[in-house]
Amino acid sequence: AVLLCLTVHETCHGLAAYALGDPTAKQMHRLSLNPLRHIDWLGLAMMFLVGFGWAKPVPVDMRYFKKPKQGMAVTALAGPASNFILAVLLLFGCKATLHYINYTWGIPVLTFLVMAAQLSIGLGLFNLIPVPPLDGSRVLTALLPDNAYYRLMRYERFGILLLLVLSFTGVGGNLISGAINGVFQGLVSVFVPELLNLLR
């Protein structure tokens, strides 16, 4: 589930950049659904250990974009957006499982699909937090004047330390968990209402 969600997220960053004219990700063979091209092993280990991790960032050269800041914002948003779309597709998989797969096989398949959908929603929401280097910061900074944008990006390397501290201390954990559960329950009620009884 982790590999699926991270791979889709990073691949869609690259696809968005490529669509906007940046061939860097394609040249680096990052427009791929092969998880091995996207895994950062330390980031993967941290995800299991503290609930916060990362994949290998997709290389993006904003000089290829006609409007660099806006291009970076669209490229950044492509990652979380892909996770929400993936979550909906996984829920459709849940619907198919409930209707077409027998009970013996259906339970483990359903368990995986539900877990992957929740994880995908979590990855999408977490990346929308406007703290560098998360995707939300790229969107926020697109609204800032150029001098403020480049000044903020200079401190990007400290953002990862802040996120690690927040993960270890659990600050904001309840808020994020509540948001994930709320979005998940909302999507289930819309796309697979019959799943609600099983989740209670």
| Span 26-66, pLDDT tens digits | 999 999 999 999 998 888 887 777 766 778 989 999 999 99
pTM, to two decimals = 0.88
Q: How far is the C-alpha of 82 from the C-alpha of 33, rounded, in Å?
A: 13
- Residue in 5, 10, 87, 139 annotated catalytic: 10
Average pLDDT over residues 98-108: 78
DSSP state of 102: -
pLDDT at 13: 97
pLDDT at 173 over 90: no
pLDDT at 21: 96
pLDDT at 8: 96
Residues in Cβ contact with 169 at an 8 Å cutoff, skipping those fewer than 6 apart: none
Q: How far is the C-alpha of 121 from the C-alpha of 119, rounded, in Å?
A: 5
pLDDT tens-digit readout, 184-199: 999 999 999 988 887 7
Average pLDDT, the chain: 87
| Tokens (6 digits) for 120 | 């995908």
Active site residue 10: yes
Residues in Cβ contact with 82 at an 8 Å cutoff, skipping those fewer than 6 apart: 8, 9, 11, 12, 124
